[in-house]
Chain A
Amino acid sequence: MSMIDRLRRGAAPAAVLLFLPLAALAQDDGDDDLRALLEQVGADYAEAYISPFIHAHGPNQNSALYHTASVPGTGLHVTIGLKLMATQLDENDQTFRRVLENVEVGGVLPDDPVYDPYREETGTVVMSGPTVFGDTSVDGRVTVYVNGLPIYTDHTIPGLVDTRWVPLFAPQVTVGSVYGLSATLRWFPDLDLSDYGKSSFFGWGLSWGASALLPELPVDVMIGYFEQSLDVGTLLGTQATSLHLVVSKRLHAVTVYGGVAAESSELDVRYEFAGYDALPGSAGTVAFSVEGAQDRRLTLGATVGPVNAEISHGKLTTFGAGLLYGF
């Protein structure tokens, strides 16, 4: 492999890491990346397997959107920032168990005569094992039960990255302001990842500071809206929105801020099934969408000079930090 090829192959995964938590997602060894794993299982298994990522990506994207509620009244103000967010998962999210009841097991069992006596039976399918952030050395398992006894079981896929932290990086720029209104963009150039296709990241938001209208308020107050989309080729697509109310107070060199937000997120997954899991609906193209579990949050943080740090708590707890440069 030439040096140029090496650089090309290395640059894309490195760029993906800027906004994807799945470090191994960018691996290119054929068997251990996310798509290669998902292609071995059906939709029901895949949805449970990546559920921690489904529910963590929204809180991550909707974090570190602001570092103060102070929005200048009118004038040119630009702030460039690099934001880092990380959601800490509950330890139980490293494994899962999904149960499908009253399944016609004939559509699940392998084409082996030993299972012929069961093909007309109705039973229970139990899928369990590591999630995408679970043990990478342990395979999951699908077991079919009929009349209280297991009649078939098969190994599935291991975890992808053994971690309880789901991080996200995002570059962002804020430009303002007109009568207390400013605009923020999160963006990264489109990348053509050979194994995933075209990947992109874009977000925009508007914030309005009430201080321009109500200068006598003892604290700065801001309301804002933000929406983002992040696509990783044809495999993953995410959307996240946040409507937030923020107050802040500058105390000498420290600006302390807090906010509440109503938010939503959604993850779309699409891939071609190519595995050995014969669960219903697993043939051909697998596609599903899942809404994130978190719909509101409380945020508290502080900004000191060019750095801010915050903690948000909703259904999940997310930590955020930013490195800021303004002029």
Chain B
Amino acid sequence: MRTFRSDGAGWAAALAVALSLGGCASDPVAPRDDLPPLGRDDVANQAGLLASVLVNVAPELVRAGFEPQGKDTYTFDFTGEVAGSLSLDFRCGGPEGTPCSHDQADWGRIWTPEPEGLYLAAGTDVTIAVDLDLAGTIDQAISVAVVGGSGVLRAGEYETNWSVAGLVVATSGYPAAGTLTATNGAHAVVVNFAGTGTAAVTVDDEVIGYVDLDSGVFTPAS
């Protein structure tokens, strides 16, 4: 014969289930599509834009076109198609040396002090942001710096990591040497600077196109 006690145990279990259900959250139902992965040429296109930014930014280490911010630090404000502020730090005796004036330093660093420090106007109400941190040696005798570093390109919701190595910049002209590597997803493309206004873009040492360093436009190899 069933008793209230046994019934009660059953219903208590049911209520326990009910209470546990109370902790069951609803599944999300609003669409949350993934961004489609960038293709190789898409990353190359971004790399081209980055290369043109570097051509503008990196020479500031030897141009001395910046403004003193404090005793040993400087800022440079970009305007126009590239906008934003950069900080500069100069040392005598290498990166661990003492701060010194820019025209005596043998080492320098240039970076965006704020996230998304540089903006590129890419259209109506569209901006592409670049974070960068470059540093390298300076040869005051010939006004040339050899720099490396890295950063992030934020193109809308896409973020592309990049690094640069052996970039040789002077007060004018295009980088005489160096490479820029942009990586997004499965694709890593390399821009090879060679002292001219056009740089070859390679993937696994195969040339896939060229970048106009003035416009940043990537043109696939035919």
In the assembled complex, the CB of B4 is this many whole angstroms from the nearest CB of chain A, namely 7
The one of B27, B33, B128 that contacts A97, using a Cβ cutoff of 8 Å: B33
A 136-147 binary contact with B (CB < 8 Å = 1; else 0): 000000010101
Q: Are A149 and B49 in contact (CB-based, < 8 A)?
A: yes
Residues of A with C-beta under 8 A to B155: 145, 148-150
A 66-109 binary contact with B (CB < 8 Å = 1; else 0): 00000000000000000000011110111111110100000000
In the assembled complex, the CB of A230 is this many whole angstroms from the nearest CB of chain B, namely 19
Asked if A311 is at the interface (CB within 8 A of a chain B CB), the reply is yes
Q: Are A115 and B123 in contact (CB-based, < 8 A)?
A: yes
Residues of B with C-beta under 8 A to A95: 30
Q: Are A316 and B128 in contact (CB-based, < 8 A)?
A: no
Asked if A221 is at the interface (CB within 8 A of a chain B CB), the reply is no
The prevalent SS among residues of B at the interface is mixed
Q: Are A149 and B35 in contact (CB-based, < 8 A)?
A: no
Contacts A101-B36, A154-B125; is A293 near B18 (CB within 8 Å)? Answer: no
Asked if B221 is at the interface (CB within 8 A of a chain A CB), the reply is no
The one of A56, A148, A258 that contacts B14, using a Cβ cutoff of 8 Å: A258
Residues of A in contact with B, size category: 35 or more
The one of A87, A101, A251 that contacts B11, using a Cβ cutoff of 8 Å: A251
A 245-258 binary contact with B (CB < 8 Å = 1; else 0): 00001010000101
Residues of B with C-beta under 8 A to A147: 41-42, 45, 218
Most B-side CB within 10 Å, residue of A96, A112, A145, A218:
A145
Residues of B with C-beta under 8 A to A93: 26, 28-30
Q: Which residue of A lies closest to B32 (CB)?
A: A97
Residues of A with C-beta under 8 A to B31: 48, 51, 96-98
Asked if A52 is at the interface (CB within 8 A of a chain B CB), the reply is yes
Q: Are A99 and B36 in contact (CB-based, < 8 A)?
A: yes
Asked if A35 is at the interface (CB within 8 A of a chain B CB), the reply is no
Asked if B38 is at the interface (CB within 8 A of a chain A CB), the reply is yes
Residues of A with C-beta under 8 A to B14: 256, 258, 300
Bound complex: CA of A17 vs CA of B35, how far in Å?
38
Q: Which residue of B lies closest to A150 (CB)?
A: B156
Residues of B with C-beta under 8 A to A56: 29
Bound complex: CA of A97 vs CA of B28, how far in Å?
12
Bound complex: CA of A89 vs CA of B30, how far in Å?
10
Residues of B with C-beta under 8 A to A256: 11, 14-15
B 13-51 binary contact with A (CB < 8 Å = 1; else 0): 011011001101111111111111011011101100100
Asked if B8 is at the interface (CB within 8 A of a chain A CB), the reply is yes
Residues of A with C-beta under 8 A to B28: 90, 92-93
Residues of B with C-beta under 8 A to A143: 126, 156-157
Residues of B with C-beta under 8 A to A302: 15
Asked if A153 is at the interface (CB within 8 A of a chain B CB), the reply is yes
Contacts A99-B36, A249-B11; is A150 near B122 (CB within 8 Å)? Answer: yes
Bound complex: CA of A256 vs CA of B34, how far in Å?
44
Q: Are A131 and B21 in contact (CB-based, < 8 A)?
A: no
Q: Which residue of A lies closest to B12 (CB)?
A: A256
Residues of B with C-beta under 8 A to A99: 33-36
Asked if B222 is at the interface (CB within 8 A of a chain A CB), the reply is no
Q: Are A114 and B123 in contact (CB-based, < 8 A)?
A: yes
Residues of B with C-beta under 8 A to A278: none
Q: Are B30 and A48 in contact (CB-based, < 8 A)?
A: yes
Asked if A298 is at the interface (CB within 8 A of a chain B CB), the reply is yes
Asked if B7 is at the interface (CB within 8 A of a chain A CB), the reply is yes
Q: Are A145 and B21 in contact (CB-based, < 8 A)?
A: no
Bound complex: CA of A147 vs CA of B46, how far in Å?
8
The one of B24, B30, B128, B218 that contacts A52, using a Cβ cutoff of 8 Å: B30
12 new A-B pairs (CB below 8 Å) besides A145-B155, A145-B158?
A93-B28, A98-B31, A143-B126, A149-B122, A151-B123, A152-B126, A153-B124, A153-B125, A258-B14, A300-B15, A300-B18, A311-B18
27 contacts between A and B (CB under 8 A): A51-B29, A54-B29, A56-B29, A88-B26, A90-B26, A92-B32, A96-B31, A126-B35, A126-B156, A145-B158, A147-B41, A148-B155, A149-B122, A150-B155, A152-B124, A153-B123, A153-B125, A249-B11, A251-B11, A256-B15, A258-B14, A298-B21, A313-B21, A315-B27, A316-B29, A317-B25, A317-B26
> Could you tell me which A residues sit within 8 Å of B by CB distance?
48, 51-52, 54-56, 87-90, 92-99, 101, 110, 112, 114-115, 124, 126, 128, 131, 143, 145, 147-154, 218, 249, 251, 256, 258, 293, 298, 300-302, 311, 313, 315-317
Top 5 nearest A-B pairs (CB, nearest first) are: A148-B42, A150-B156, A300-B18, A316-B26, A55-B29
